[in-house]
Every structure is written in C-alpha cells, then in structure tokens.
Structure 1
Amino acid sequence: MKKNFVRFLFLFVIIIIGGYFTHTSIVNYFSLERNTDIINFSYIFNGIFTLIFTSAIMVLSKKFKDQLGFIFMAGSLVKIGVFLLISNLNNLDINKNVFLDFFIAYAICLALEVYCVSKILNTIK
C-alpha cells in the first residue's frame, strides 16, 4: 500500500503543479481578467482534499471493498459542498465567469482519484 501511495503522490504532485502553471500561464497569456485568489484556492483545496480522500480510500479499501464505489461518490459530493461552503465563508464569489477556474482543478483531481480508485478496485479480489 505504501508503494501505491508513493506512486500516486509522485504522479499527483507532477500533474497538479503542471496543471496549475499551465492554467495560470493561459490566463496571463490571454490577459484574462481573473481573480487569482479563486484559482489558487481551487488548486490548494482540491489538492489537499484529493490527498486526504485518496489516502482514506487506500486505507479503507481492504475493510470496505464492496462499498468503495459509494464512498468515492459520496466523497466527490462532499468535496463540492465543502468547497462552496468555504468559498462563501471567505467571500469568494463563484459565478459562471469563474466556474472554469474551479472546474479545471476539480477535473484534474477527479481524474487522478478515478485512476487511483480504479487501480485499487482492480487489485482487490
């Protein structure tokens, strides 16, 4: 399990940092008027939540192997809810103009979570 987590962590760090710098570079290159606080918060929040959530799934995979899919779906729903709650508490306005700033980081992290969970499900017998 440690080997799988280290592999996931290495892949995750490379992809999330690459995604962040690509995202901010595109915003800067096209001189888009974006609130960088939302971009930064989105990548930090999604990154931390993904690390915690994926670690929990790796730990719970042996004990709750039949419920792992439901745990994954519930975690995705909780992630969006907590993000919206925290952003509202910090007065970050999430409207349709900045939706992509959140969704790009969310999609990157979700793809990594799906990859990791599918690997876990394929190894469980």
Structure 2
Amino acid sequence: MPKTVTRFLVILVVALGVTFSLHIFILNFFKQPLFGDKIVLSYVVNALLAGTIFFSLQKLKERYKTQIGFLFLFGSALKFVVFFSLFFPYYKADGVMDKLEFAAFFVPYVVCLVLETYSLSQMLNKMS
C-alpha cells in the first residue's frame, strides 16, 4: 500500500476516533442514548467509504489525472446513495429525522469529507 494511502488511513482513523469519542461524550453529557441511531455503523461505513475512495483516487490519479475531481465527486455521490439506501429509511421510519439522527450520520461524513478534500488537494498539488 502506498505511503500516502497509509498516512491518510492513519489520520482518518485517529480523526474519526477522536470525533467519535467527543460525539459519545456530548451524547452522555446531555443524557441521550449513546449508541442509538446507528452511530457506530455510520462511523464505520463513512470510514470504509472514505478509505476506499481515497485509495481508488490514488490508484487512478495517473491514468485519469484530468478527471480526478470528477472521480472525487462520484465518490461523494456514492456516499449519498449509501446514506439514502442504508440510513435514511431507518431515520425516517417515524416520519421525522431529528437532530441526533442527523448528527449520527453527518458528523462522521463531514470529518471524512474534510480529510478527503484536504488530501486530494495535496495530491493534486504534487501532480502539477
């Protein structure tokens, strides 16, 4: 596995671990259910998708260097497909998606998105 991918995965796991711990701490502080709303699955799925997308972009960067941004957007679209197929039906089962359900998916999504975007910008800067 390339050094860049390994570095990304380590940073991703640490960032999501810290974020998850903080997320659980806040839920506990406000006396909310700690492991409800598929929070663990959400962090795991977002991590797997982010790792897979970054690994794929790294592998395809030479072959598709002018389309790498579009491939990144495709990866983001894939995340939304996963959200709407795996999480949304569960969250909307009661007819309402509350703040805790929203946060359970979108907090790890945003962390992954920021890390992916930053890492992709670093990759693109090295390519030019």
What is the TM-score when the length of structure 1 is the normalising length?
Answer: 0.89
Aligned partners of 1:87 and 1:93 also within 8 Å: yes
Counterpart CA distance in 2 for 1:65 and 1:106 is 25
**36-45 or 12-21, which deviates more:** 36-45
Does residue 1:74 correspond to 2:74, yes or no? yes
State the alpha-carbon separation in 2 of the partners of residues 73 and 96 from structure 1. Answer: 27
Moved more, 42-51 or 76-85: 76-85
Distance 2:40 2:103 in 1: 13
Match for 1:55: what amino acid? F
Residues 42 and 104 in structure 2, CA contact (< 8 A), matched pair in contact too: yes
Alignment partner of 1:110 is 2:108: no
Q: Which amino acid aligns with 1:99?
A: F
Please list every run of 5 or more consecutive structure 2 residues that lacks an aligned counterpart in the other structure.
Answer: none
Alignment of 1:92-107 (within 5 A): 92-94=90-92, 95-97=97-99, 98-107=101-110
What stretches of structure 1 move > 4 A for 4+ residues in a row?
Answer: none
For 1:109, the aligned partner's letter is C
The separation in 2 between residues aligned to 1:100 and 1:37, in whole angstroms, is 9
- Aligned residue number for residue 53 of structure 1: 53
1: distance between equivalents of 2:31 and 2:104? Answer: 14
Indicate the RMSD between aligned Cα atoms, in angstroms. 1.8
Aligned length, in residue pairs: 123
